Amino acid sequence: MIGRLFRRRLMPVLLAAVLLLGAGVYALTGSGREAAEASAAVTDWGLSFQQEGAPPVANATRDYLKNYRALYVGDPKKKEIYITFDAGFENGNTAQILDALKKHNVKATFFLVGNYLETQPELVKRMVQEGHTVGNHTYSHPDMSKISDTESFCAELQKNEALFEAITGQAMPKLYRPPQGKFCESNLQMACDLGYATVFWSLAYVDWYVDDQPTKEQAFEKLLPRIHPGAVVLLHSTSSTNAQILDELLTEWENMGYTFGDLEAVCASMEAPQSTPSP
């Protein structure tokens, strides 16, 4: 019941946030400075794929995001990619996904909401035991860009921290993914002040409609030609297509010369900003 309510409430919002990303385009016509200025206001994360095999252009620059210990792509000169999954509920696909990751010795990052931590402690334990990183996707998956006070922002992250520690006995890794891809400068700053690295993504496709899943061919049409050095790949663990194709998908990327990196290590290596930047 919780899972169905979660889907009805959040999936339409997720569509609005990521629909342009799924199409691979958004309105980006200005300079890098204009992209940085856009991120000072509330905005949806967006990407423009301009060249096959190359990182997309985002509506906030890499340099701007670094000022807040945020990223959407790794080293564009290194054929290393980072696999991430967002999860708000469990519908039977995660075990198969974990099996495929284990087969390829790939360490992924799972960004979980409170509902998942509360209802799937055994799967959370398995993620940790098999070397994956569990990141913070907020407790209730709100539009965080509408939260302006620090206390409410902190509560969304700290509730998950407490749940994760109760399940695993460990402190939750300081990786945060904004729900719906919505962000603003104050959000980035608050997350940074809490010691978090904010993680967006540079490759995704429309995989979250559990009753309207893409075919393998449709998935590969998006995920193979658009893979690029430093890619932070966003997938959803609710997707039966992802569970079915992941083993083959990882093999295809390996055959293209890619290796799989540790996103938590990349985030840990980012220096804390010395001062608040101007756009």
Catalytic residues: 86, 236
C-beta of residue 162 within 8 angstroms of C-beta of residue 254: no
C-beta of residue 84 within 8 angstroms of C-beta of residue 112: no
28: tokens are: 């980006």
Classify 232 as helix, strand or coil.
Answer: strand
Backbone torsions φ then ψ of 109, nearest 5 degrees = -115, 125
Burial annotation 64-81 (CB, 10 A radius, 16+ → b, else e):
bbebbbbbbbbeeeebbb
| Residue given tokens 């995989």 in the structure block | 207
253: tokens are: 């990327």
Strands 43-44 and 80-87: unpaired
Length of the chain: 279
The beta strand positions in the chain, using DSSP E, are: 43-44, 47-48, 57-58, 70-71, 80-87, 109-112, 133-136, 175-176, 182-183, 197-199, 232-236, 259-260
